[in-house]
């Protein structure tokens, strides 16, 4: 029976904007390893396929007076690779997916870093490939504004090919370690990549033997046509951001429909939409949890969230009054899907209602329910062509992750929809991806098709 793949997205203290004010959330946890150790062990206790660490290398919009960054907790975060290396030491089975930018890093560096993580974790490394869309990141790397989406994605396509080429730059069995003959490695089994492309010139080979997975699973996300094309071409897993079944099905169908163009099968790419779940033993308990969190959003924070998510600045208006008819800004600071904004605005009658909806993670599947109702929803998405699994975005971490593990996972397991034991030692294996073929022929990639 086909089973769901589940990621636990550990966004520090949680996806809810007021998460850090929850009495059981460690308010300083985003800088403390003890918090992440606890979360990593929890993910493994829940038999999650992977821990997912999203990232961007900047504090975004710090100086925009309309955005109350001083009230937010999500800007403060660790660099994910070092954090995952530490998490690898306190876990045995769970995958470790690290976000890294194709715009602000070089493929040789990243192939070294992730191959080492793959060795240290015995085959559990994953790479979430992002192209970095924000202006604040650009300003940390010598640019005034980000490269265009076309440019970022052309670079990413070449980058991921170089990355995979480096993963293939050794044949199996190259390390001989023969003390008697004195031969340490078989030189004939290491190959130059000799890549010269538009963005990169990389001679190779990698200075690290292939990791247990050889090909580290590549994750990505994004709804632009460029992002979808890159995913269909080069990714193993896509993290989806669709708020309802209809949009999720359409996204799933589009992605899977583009695989054939690249000679890939339907199951070569997994789609895991985000799910932000407030779970209670009863519906009342779930609603109480949700309401308690919503009450913790200060109006100034709420107004700022609207700006970040593409709405106008409503500062100065009565937050419990009607939503003023101001023009929608043309640029969106986050990656929220803009057509949804107008619908959401029409559904809400006050400014407070609007920011509360936004803070509940409107650009992913948001749900308040019991283990049964949440499992019903996940099953529907999973069995009707919208998802191959989910990336779980707990509102408050670790409290809501704990509830998900204690309440929802057993319900999914009871239905046969999720594993009860890890069946593989590697992330590739857990995800059911085809094993990477051993390298046999030297390969030179001089030219790259851009998406
Ligand atoms: C669900 C989801 C998660 C994302 N996570 C990240 C992330 O962690 N880091 C990042 O830099 N971009 C992230 N993005 C942004 C995308 O990588 C992409 O840049 C964005 O959708 C804008 O499209 P464009 O790059 O074609 O302009 C995410 C997008 C979505 C939909």
183 or 438: which carries more pLDDT confidence?
Answer: 183
Please tell me if the CB atom of residue 167 comes closer than 6 angstroms to any atom of ligand 1: no
Please tell me if the CB atom of residue 132 comes closer than 6 angstroms to any atom of ligand 1: yes
Does pLDDT of 131 surpass 70? yes
Quote the ligand 1 centre to 282 CA distance (angstroms).
Answer: 35
Q: What integer is the mean pLDDT of 172-198?
A: 96
Ligand 1 atom with the shortest distance to the CA of 239: 1
Domain ranges in the chain are: 5-278+377-431, 284-359
CA 367 to chain centre: 19
- pLDDT band at residue 448 under the 50/70/90 scheme: very low
Helices and strands (H and E) in the chain: how many? 15, 13
Q: What's the confidence (pLDDT) of residue 341?
A: 83
> Average pLDDT, whole number, for the chain?
93
Ligand 1 atom with the shortest distance to the CA of 133: 19
Please tell me if the CB atom of residue 227 comes closer than 6 angstroms to any atom of ligand 1: yes
330: left (phi over 0), alpha (psi -120 to 50) or beta: alpha
- Give tens-digit pLDDT for 282-334: 999 999 999 999 999 999 999 999 998 889 999 999 999 999 999 888 766 55
pTM (2 d.p.): 0.95
Q: What integer is the mean pLDDT of 58-76?
A: 91
Quote the ligand 1 centre to 335 CA distance (angstroms).
Answer: 6
Q: What integer is the mean pLDDT of 129-143?
A: 96
CA 425 to chain centre: 21
Does pLDDT of 281 surpass 70? yes
CB 52 within 8 A of CB 128: yes
- Give tens-digit pLDDT for 397-439: 999 999 999 999 999 999 999 999 999 999 999 999 998 765 5
Q: What's the confidence (pLDDT) of residue 334?
A: 56
Cross-strand partners of 221? 239
Does pLDDT of 445 surpass 90? no
Q: What's the confidence (pLDDT) of residue 442?
A: 41
Residue to probe by mutation, ligand 1, list 60, 103, 221, 238, most atoms within 8 Å of CB: 221
Quote the ligand 1 centre to 227 CA distance (angstroms).
Answer: 8
Residue to probe by mutation, ligand 1, list 219, 335, 337, 363, most atoms within 8 Å of CB: 335
Please tell me if the CB atom of residue 56 comes closer than 6 angstroms to any atom of ligand 1: yes
Portion of the chain with pLDDT greater than 90, in percent: 87
Helix (H) or strand (E) holding 441: none
Ligand 1 atom with the shortest distance to the CA of 223: 21
Q: What's the confidence (pLDDT) of residue 309?
A: 87
Quote the ligand 1 centre to 235 CA distance (angstroms).
Answer: 14
Does pLDDT of 440 surpass 70? no
Q: Which CATH superfamily is domain 5-278+377-431 in?
A: Luciferase-like domain (3.20.20.30)
Phi, psi torsion values for 274, nearest 5 degrees:
-75, 145
Residue 138 CB neighbour total at 10 angstroms:
18
CB 380 within 8 A of CB 302: no
Poorest-pLDDT segment among 118-132, 279-293, 347-361:
347-361
Quote the ligand 1 centre to 128 CA distance (angstroms).
Answer: 10
Please tell me if the CB atom of residue 335 comes closer than 6 angstroms to any atom of ligand 1: yes
Does pLDDT of 114 surpass 60? yes
Phi, psi torsion values for 128, nearest 5 degrees:
-95, 105
64 or 44: which carries more pLDDT confidence?
Answer: 44
Quote the ligand 1 centre to 150 CA distance (angstroms).
Answer: 14
Ligand 1 atom with the shortest distance to the CA of 54: 8
Of residues 213, 248, 214, 220, the one with CA closest to residue 234: 220
Does pLDDT of 441 surpass 50? no
Q: What integer is the mean pLDDT of 200-229?
A: 97
């Amino acid at each position: 029976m086909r089973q769901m793949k589940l990621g636990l997205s550990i966004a520090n203290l949680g996806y809810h904007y007021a998460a850090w004010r929850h009495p059981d959330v460690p308010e300083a946890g985003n800088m403390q390893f003890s918090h992440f150790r606890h979360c990593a062990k929890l993910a493994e206790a829940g038999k999650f396929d992977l821990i997912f660490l999203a990232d961007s290398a900047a504090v975004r919009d710090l100086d925009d007076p309309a955005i109350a960054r001083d009230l937010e907790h999500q800007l403060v975060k660790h660099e994910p690779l070092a954090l995952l290396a530490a998490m690898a030491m306190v876990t045995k089975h769970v995958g470790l997916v690290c976000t890294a930018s194709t715009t602000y890093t070089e493929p040789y560096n990243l192939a070294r870093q992730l191959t080492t993580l793959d060795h240290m974790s015995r085959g559990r490394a994953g790479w979430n490939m992002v192209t970095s869309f924000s202006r604040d990141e650009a300003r940390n790397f010598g640019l005034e504004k980000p490269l265009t989406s076309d440019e970022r994605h052309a670079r990413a396509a070449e980058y991921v090919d170089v990355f995979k080429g480096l993963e293939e730059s050794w044949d199996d069995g190259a390390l001989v370690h023969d003390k008697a003959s004195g031969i340490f490695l078989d030189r004939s089994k290491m190959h130059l990549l000799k890549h010269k492309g538009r963005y990169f010139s990389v001679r190779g080979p990698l200075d690290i033997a292939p990791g247990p997975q050889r090909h580290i699973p590549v994750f990505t996300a994004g709804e632009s046509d460029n992002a979808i094309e890159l995913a269909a071409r080069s990714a193993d897993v896509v993290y989806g951001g669709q708020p309802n079944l209809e949009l999720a099905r359409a996204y799933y169908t589009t992605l899977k429909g583009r695989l054939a163009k690249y000679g890939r099968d339907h199951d070569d790419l997994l789609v895991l939409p985000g799910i932000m779940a407030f779970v209670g033993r009863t519906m009342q308990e779930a609603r109480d949890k949700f309401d308690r969190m919503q009450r913790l959003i200060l109006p100034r924070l709420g107004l700022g969230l609207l700006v970040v998510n593409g709405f106008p600045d409503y500062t100065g208006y009565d937050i419990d009054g009607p939503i003023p008819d101001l023009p929608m800004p043309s640029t969106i600071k986050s990656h929220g899907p803009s057509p949804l904004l107008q619908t959401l605005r029409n559904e809400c009658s006050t400014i407070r209602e609007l920011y509360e909806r936004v803070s509940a993670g409107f650009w992913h599947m948001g749900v308040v329910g019991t283990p049964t109702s949440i499992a019903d929803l996940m099953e529907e998405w999973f069995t009707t062509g919208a998802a191959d699994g989910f990336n779980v975005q707990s509102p408050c971490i670790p409290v809501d992750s704990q509830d998900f593990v204690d309440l929802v996972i057993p319900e999914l397991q009871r239905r046969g929809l999720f594993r009860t034991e890890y069946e593989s030692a590697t992330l590739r294996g857990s995800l059911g991806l085809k094993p990477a073929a051993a390298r046999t022929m030297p390969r030179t990639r001089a030219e790259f098709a851009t998406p």
